[in-house]
A and B are shown apart, each in its own frame.
Chain A
Amino acid sequence: MAEFIAALRGVTVDLAGRAPLGPIDLTVARGEILALVGASGAGKSTTLRLLAGLQTASAGELTRAAGVGRTGFVFQSPTLTPWADALSNVALPLELAGVSRSQARDRAAAALAAVGLSDRLNAPPSQLSGGMAMRAALARALVTAPDLLLLDEPFAALDSVTRRRLIEDLHALWATAAPRPAVVFVTHDVEEAVYLAQRVVVLDAASGRPVADLPTPGAPPRPDRWRADPAFRQTVEAVVDALEAAMAPQADTAA
């Protein structure tokens, strides 16, 4: 096993109004891109929150590699604060951490430039398109130079062209970062998962446990035309098969 950045070991979670999730065992290696797929309610978001330390587990443990820095998180919607411009939104994590205002703003401006928004520093979120707002959210997650970047279906609400561009940009940001952050990307789009990630983990629909762990051929960043490659198609089919198996009604083992 390569050096890990975060690991869940035997973690179970009690959630109101449903059967408990787990036990979940999941290891995230340093610098890898991991996609989490599963049915709605399979606990994809909960698993991300566990990795971020935002969800309390009722049993088991979360381990983060020693000397680990910060975690970046991108939610389903951009969640920019409407009362502050793009620059202030991106500077927020640094300012909360006590970085001086001018230094935070310099670094935020650089992060916004890296996602192609250098001409929108002072735009209020209401004047950003859906894609731009998501880019700003990505810049905010990356401004602290995290070693773990968690994304919870961030591009689901965007049109397919914008979504592909953002995935290209995410690959580029990941490839140029030094050191590369580990990326955990939640999606229900299997093609997106296979194209984006180095491995795809399928969660069981009922328990949220990882039930399949499929490596993808080649390495990101990938050319756009890779989506037409037979190897891509085969991997997509394999993941779809695993998803279907994970959704099948479970045999009553207690009987």
Chain B
Amino acid sequence: MRRLADLAPPLLLTALLLAAWETACRLADLPVYVLPPPSAVALALVEAGPRLAASAWITFGMAVQALILAGLIGGGLALAVSLHPGAERAVRPLAVALQVTPVVAVAPLVLIWAGLDHADRAVVALAALVAFFPLFSGVLTGLKSADPDLERLFDLYGATPLQRLWRLRLPSAVPFALEGLRVAAGLAVIGAVVAEFVSGSGATQGLAWRLLEAGNRLRTAEMLAGVLCLTVLGLVLNAAVALTARFLLRR
């Protein structure tokens, strides 16, 4: 009953907006290639469903690979940096520089380095690039977040650096790392789409390529269906991370 009451307002608003869109399209008699009505998008979704699903799977796979790569590099680097007080000052400005550089601008370079025959590698690398910062920053903040009195307790009992890391800092970092992962998951999808756009048609066959292809043929309804798939993909990744977090933080 509560759940229904929670769900009703957003569903109602969505239905209203879709109805307004549909009505506007019919009244204004807009060409479908400019703005197709929701009914046409739904039709396109059914018709192009199989190939969109296949492409979504490819994009999903690349985003997940990127997340794993970014997690290993970002987490590993944060761990290394946390062990040496001076290292953070050296590494953090570089990490921030990496974060503020637009991924679109770097994409052509990475594509050249990956080799035009390996556009999928470039996509994974670029998605990992944008997912890197929240993971690095989250893990590093988490490793330093332990209660100062607990740090003192470990001092008092003469804990070794390894004991301190394993029994205090790593467990303290888990909630921060998961929050970083949640942000990184969203960014990884964005990074993958941008990279696919830049690599051009056919080099990879993910959702962004479907968007480009449908756009070239003025199949606007299919473009919108593809965008919808990307939204769902982002939501699925986000929910997966949230579920993992709830499982790990049960206590």
Contact = CB atoms under 8 A, between A and B. Distances in A.
A174 B153 CA distance: 21
A70 B158 CA distance: 10
Interface string B120-155: 000000000000000000000000000101101111
Contact of A54 (B150, B152, B163): B152
Interface string A77-91: 101011110000000
Interface of B, helix, strand, loop or mixed by DSSP = helix
Interface string A90-118: 00110111000000000000000000000
A183 B140 CA distance: 38
A73 interface: yes
B149 A75 contact: yes
Contact of A83 (B153, B155, B159, B174): B174
A82 B251 contact: yes
A124 B251 contact: yes
Interface of A, helix, strand, loop or mixed by DSSP = loop
A81 B171 contact: yes
A96 B150 contact: no
B147 A54 contact: no
A247 interface: no
B167 interface: yes
A118 B29 CA distance: 77
Contacts of B152: 49, 52, 54, 73, 75
B168 interface: yes
Contact of A79 (B147, B163, B171): B147
A75 B150 CA distance: 9
Q: Tell which of B150, B156, B171 has the most Cβ of chain A within 10 Å.
A: B156
B247 interface: no
B174 A71 contact: no
A71 B149 contact: no
Contacts of A81: 150, 167-168, 171
Contact of B251 (A70, A96, A126): A126
A39 B176 CA distance: 37
Interface of B: 147, 149-150, 152-159, 163, 167-168, 171, 174, 251
Given A83-B174, A93-B157, 19 more contacts: A52-B152, A52-B156, A54-B152, A54-B155, A73-B153, A79-B147, A79-B149, A79-B153, A81-B168, A82-B251, A83-B251, A93-B153, A95-B167, A96-B158, A96-B159, A96-B167, A97-B158, A124-B251, A144-B157
23 contacts: A49-B152, A54-B152, A70-B157, A71-B156, A73-B152, A73-B153, A75-B149, A76-B149, A77-B149, A79-B147, A79-B149, A79-B150, A81-B150, A81-B167, A83-B174, A83-B251, A92-B167, A93-B157, A96-B157, A96-B158, A96-B159, A97-B157, A97-B158
